Structure formats: structure tokens, C-alpha cells
Amino acid sequence: MVFLKMFKVLALMLCISMLSQNLFARNYEFSGAGGFTVGFYNPDLDFLHNKIQSVTPGFDKIEGPIITWGGGGYGLVSEHWRIGGYGFGGEKLISGTFTDPNNEGAYLPQDVVISFGGGGFYSEYILGHIFNRLEGAISLGIGGAGVKIKIAQYSNNVTWDGLFEGFDPNVAAENKVIQISNGGILLNPGVGVKFHVNSFFAIEGMASYVMILFPGDWRFEGVTVRDTPDFEFDAPVFGMRFLFGG
């Protein structure tokens, strides 16, 4: 299944590149540029929401999007090709409450944090220019990406001694924190439309798809988490890129 995903993406990009080589005339471009990006990444988090609801009913909905921030740069290596590097990261905090089973009518606070980040190298094929300053391009990023999930549950009265009760096997701790992580190879095909404001500054709208290939085992403090459900963080990303260069 993973190899089929890769083959489809690469074949699609090759076909688009071959068909588009002579569709546009090149008039306006950077020879090299760098800048920052903002994106909206929206994975399916139902697997986590359903599990949270099974143990703490009434907690807030676990859902996206996750806002990511990043940056990168590239250089022109031929008439239509650019290569460069990029990185990004972001997190989603869901703060809510659940019913205290030991105190009717009382609620306890809980936080869930989903962090996502990655980066690597990418290649961009320039489709061409329309109306001189408007440019279309397709891209493919390859690198690594990781996901981290942190769940913190605590009493309404957090004390210094209470934080350490979880280490005593004879005490039922009121404050609990778990953090699990996973990662794999990042494959990130995308398409963008760039507007050259002038010879030094451009704004680009982007749509891409994040795929994490060959993910490892979920880890909790270095220990493998067994019997985890099947889920994936493959999802579309929509964003903007702001580029400076010449």
C-alpha cells in the first residue's frame, strides 16, 4: 500500500511535468529565495477522541486543524526546476473538563496536546507564468515527520507533593501525564500559485498532502506501546508562503 502511494504520486507529477513544459512562457522569476510559511493541517483525530471519551466522558471534541509554521529556501537549477529545503511544526491544544467520579457535580481539568512537525528536501517544477507575475508550480518534498500526543489530567488543587504521588505505588495519583510519539518518512506532494509582487517579494498559495510512510511503533518514554489501533496522520495541508529573494 505504501509503495502504491509513492508510485501514484511520482507518476502523476511526471505526467504533469511532461504535459506542461510548453504551455506557458517564462517571464518573471526568482533565481533563489527563502521565507516563511503558515499552514492548516487537518488529520483525522477520531481515533483519539473516541478513546478519550471512553475514559473521560464529556471531554471536549478532539479535532483539527493544527496550525503549522515553518520556513525554507530554494535555488533555480535549470529553466524549470528549483531545489531547496524546508521545515515546519505546530501543535493543537484542547483544554476541557470531565466529570469527577469521586465528587458528584464537580469537574476536573484535562489537556490534550497534539504536536506535528517535519521537514527535508524538496524539488519544485515551474509550470510557467500567466499575466507575467503569476506563476504555477508543482512540488515534491521528501524528508521526515513526527507526531507527539500529550495528555495531562490533574486535580483542581495541584500541589508539590501531589505531583510526586504518581511515583508511589501505594497512592492513587490525582495528577497524570502521558506522552507518546511516532514518526516516519515524509512524502509531501503539492501545488502552488505564486504572485510576484516585485523582483524581491512573492506570495504563494499552496495545497499539499502529507504522507508519513513506514511509521515506527508508538513510544512512551522510550518504551514501545503495544496493541495500538491502526490510524494514520496522512492529511491535506493548505497554506501560504511568503518569499524574499532575487
Residue-wise pLDDT tens digits, 98-109: 777 677 767 778
Residue-wise pLDDT tens digits, 19-41: 444 344 344 445 788 999 999 99
Asked, for residue 159, whether it belongs to a domain, the answer is yes
Q: Number of structural domains, the chain?
A: 1
Where residue 95 sits, what CATH number does that domain have?
2.40.160
The mean pLDDT value of the chain amounts to 82
Q: The whole model's pTM is what? A: 0.77
Is it the case that residue 110 has pLDDT exceeding 70?
Answer: yes
How confident is residue 154, by pLDDT bands cut at 50, 70 and 90?
A: confident
> Strands 235-245 and 81-99: what pairing?
unpaired
Asked, for residue 33, whether it belongs to a domain, the answer is no
pLDDT score, position 172: 62
Mean pLDDT of 170-194: 86
Mean pLDDT of 52-66: 87
Mean pLDDT of 3-22: 44
Residue-wise pLDDT tens digits, 206-234: 999 999 998 888 898 888 988 887 777 89
Is it the case that residue 143 has pLDDT exceeding 80?
Answer: yes
How confident is residue 66, by pLDDT bands cut at 50, 70 and 90?
A: very high
Mean pLDDT of 150-163: 76
Is it the case that residue 114 has pLDDT exceeding 90?
Answer: yes
Lowest-pLDDT range, 2-16, 46-60, 67-81? 2-16
Q: Can you give the residue range of the structural domain that contains 214?
A: 2-21+43-241
Alpha-carbon distance of 86 to 72, in angstroms, equals: 4
Asked, for residue 179, whether it belongs to a domain, the answer is yes
Asked, for residue 35, whether it belongs to a domain, the answer is no
Is it the case that residue 70 has pLDDT exceeding 60?
Answer: yes
Asked, for residue 29, whether it belongs to a domain, the answer is no
Asked, for residue 124, whether it belongs to a domain, the answer is yes
Asked, for residue 48, whether it belongs to a domain, the answer is yes
Asked, for residue 147, whether it belongs to a domain, the answer is yes
How confident is residue 6, by pLDDT bands cut at 50, 70 and 90?
A: very low
Report yes or no: 108 and 98 within 8 Å, Cβ to Cβ. yes
Alpha-carbon distance of 12 to 9, in angstroms, equals: 5
